[in-house]
């Protein structure tokens, strides 16, 4: 069996470039014959003749076995990219259904099970990935129209106080539970069918970490908050960096006092020597421990400008809540009356049917009510009757006959 000759893709590309130059010289009249051009540029004469006749280069030619045309495939890829930008990336079956819909315009044709996979392989602008869940509230916080006001406010404050980029900080706290086992790959016996289980301790303590970073990329040492009443365990300091700071609270969360202590004993001492300008900026969220009067006064004394990044989002959320409340009020005002129909009706026909039911209900005679007492006649209260002597006007405990006996 003769050996299989493999083509070098780099050499093929170089030969195609020589052919393009030869065709250009032939069209401009620099070379008179195809044979002479093939000899000068050292390319195959038959290939040069095919290119002169309009036969395209094979590597840039679309295969004949594609079910969709080039324009249809480009439209499909554009549709996928458009859905992805709107946060609705289509799944494989949806792309396959759309391709089948395009093919239905030409006849009864359908794509195969591997068609979407092959499409992703030959189109570099799309790829297949695993999707993940994304909370709607978090997505709202990434809306450019909502957060643009925050960036405008930060830019105005930087210009007003002349704050340098090296003096801009951002801080926030995060919490985590100690003692929780994470999912991981383990080695187990091949005879076990169920997934192996990892035992985790029953006590789960909550720990909070306050982190602060600078806009140039460096970060302050962590500030840890453990759950305790008065005492600090020496074991907490094991395997922790020396510049980390530890504090305690009743539940392991941050408080107003801890937030103020972090500012006075941690942030200011570590950043005062690195401040280049007159003022520095501290970006924070709207947590209660960050918005106390003492916290703001301490920032003012040390020329720190605190900026909250939640004010605009809270305003937007309140506006959405008011709009939803008004919509709910309008929904409650709608009529809850029900009518029986056998076919579709319009709004006017429904109103006529409801009006007819109301008139029919008003025509029904009701039972006469009991006559009311005249306003001039006073209501007389019934007298008590004695259960011993059967005389009205007193009870048995005040009966004169019993008293005399």
Same domain, 80 and 209: no
The model carries a pTM of 0.43
Joined together, the tokens standing for residue 256 give 């107003």
Same domain, 37 and 147: no
Secondary structure (3-state) at 225: strand
What gap in Å lies between CA 402 and CA 386, rounded to an integer? 11
179: left (phi over 0), alpha (psi -120 to 50) or beta: left
Max Cα distance, the chain (Å): 156
Domain total in the chain: 3
Same domain, 290 and 259: yes
**Which pLDDT does position 286 carry in this prediction?**
56
Can you give the pLDDT of all 405 residues of the chain as single tens digits? Answer: 445 455 566 777 788 888 889 998 898 988 889 999 999 999 988 988 888 888 877 766 666 677 888 888 888 989 888 887 766 788 888 889 889 988 888 777 888 888 999 888 888 888 888 776 666 666 666 667 767 777 888 888 899 889 999 999 998 888 776 655 556 555 544 555 566 565 555 556 778 888 999 999 999 998 988 888 776 667 667 777 888 888 888 878 888 888 888 899 999 999 999 999 999 998 887 554 556 668 877 888 899 888 876 544 555 555 666 677 777 777 766 656 666 666 666 767 777 777 777 777 766 544 455 555 455 555 567 777 888 888 887 888 888 877 555
- Write the DSSP assignment of 32-99 as a string of letters: --HHHHHHHHT--HHHHHHHHHTPPPGGGSPPTT-SS-HHHHHHHHHHHHHHHHTT-PPPHHHHHHHH
325 in a domain, yes or no?
no
Residue 297 is part of which domain span?
139-179+204-313
Q: 313, 331, 353 — which closes off a domain? A: 313
279 in a domain, yes or no?
yes
232 in a domain, yes or no?
yes
**Helices 311-333 and 144-161, interaxial angle, to 10°?**
150
Q: 313, 343, 370 — which closes off a domain? A: 313
171 in a domain, yes or no?
yes
Joined together, the tokens standing for residue 398 give 């005040």
Same domain, 213 and 92: no
**Which pLDDT does position 400 carry in this prediction?**
81
What gap in Å lies between CA 392 and CA 380, rounded to an integer? 14
342 in a domain, yes or no?
no
CA-to-CA dists, residue 219 to 166, 174, 298, angstroms: 12, 15, 21
**Which pLDDT does position 360 carry in this prediction?**
75
Same domain, 166 and 234: yes
268 in a domain, yes or no?
yes
385 in a domain, yes or no?
no
Q: What CATH number is associated with residue 272?
A: 3.30.420
Same domain, 55 and 75: no
Q: What CATH number is associated with residue 24?
A: 1.10.10
399 in a domain, yes or no?
no
What gap in Å lies between CA 17 and CA 156, rounded to an integer? 56
Strand partners, 207: 176
């Amino acid at each position: 069996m003769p050996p299989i000759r493999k083509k070098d893709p780099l050499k093929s590309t170089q030969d195609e470039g020589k052919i393009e130059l030869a065709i250009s010289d032939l069209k401009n009249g620099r070379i008179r014959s195809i044979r002479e051009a093939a000899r000068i540029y050292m390319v195959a004469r038959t290939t040069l003749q095919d290119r002169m006749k309009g036969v395209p280069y094979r590597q840039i030619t679309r295969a004949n076995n594609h079910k969709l045309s080039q324009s249809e495939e480009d439209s499909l890829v554009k549709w996928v990219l458009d859905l992805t930008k709107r946060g609705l990336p289509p799944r494989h079956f949806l792309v396959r259904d759309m391709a089948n819909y395009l093919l239905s315009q030409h006849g009864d044709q359908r794509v195969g099970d591997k068609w979407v996979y092959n499409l992703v392989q030959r189109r570099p602008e799309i790829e297949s990935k695993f999707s993940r869940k994304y909370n709607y509230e978090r997505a709202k916080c990434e809306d450019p129209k909502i957060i643009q006001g925050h960036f405008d406010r930060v830019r105005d404050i930087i210009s007003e106080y002349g704050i340098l980029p090296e003096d801009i900080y951002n801080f926030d706290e995060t919490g985590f539970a100690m003692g929780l086992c994470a999912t991981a790959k383990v080695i187990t016996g091949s005879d076990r069918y169920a997934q192996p289980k990892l035992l985790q301790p029953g006590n789960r303590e909550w720990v909070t970490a306050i982190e602060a970073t600078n806009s140039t990329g460096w970060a302050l040492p962590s500030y840890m908050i453990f759950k305790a009443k008065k005492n600090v365990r020496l074991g907490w300091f094991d395997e922790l960096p020396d510049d980390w700071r530890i504090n305690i609270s009743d539940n392991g969360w941050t408080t107003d006092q801890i937030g103020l202590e972090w500012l006075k004993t941690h942030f200011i001492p570590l950043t005062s020597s690195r401040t280049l300008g007159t003022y520095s900026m501290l970006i924070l969220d709207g947590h209660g421990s960050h918005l106390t009067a003492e916290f703001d006064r301490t920032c003012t004394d040390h020329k720190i400008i605190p900026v909250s990044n939640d004010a605009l989002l809270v305003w937007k959320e309140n506006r959405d809540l008011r709009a939803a409340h008004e919509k709910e009020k309008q929904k409650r005002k709608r009529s809850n009356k029900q009518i029986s129909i056998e076919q579709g009706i319009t709004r006017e026909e429904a109103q006529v049917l409801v009006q007819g039911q109301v008139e029919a209900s008003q025509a029904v005679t009701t039972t006469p009510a009991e006559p009311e007492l005249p306003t001039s006649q006073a209501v007389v209260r019934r007298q008590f009757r004695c259960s011993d002597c059967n005389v009205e006007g007193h009870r048995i405990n005040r009966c004169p006959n019993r008293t005399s006996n």
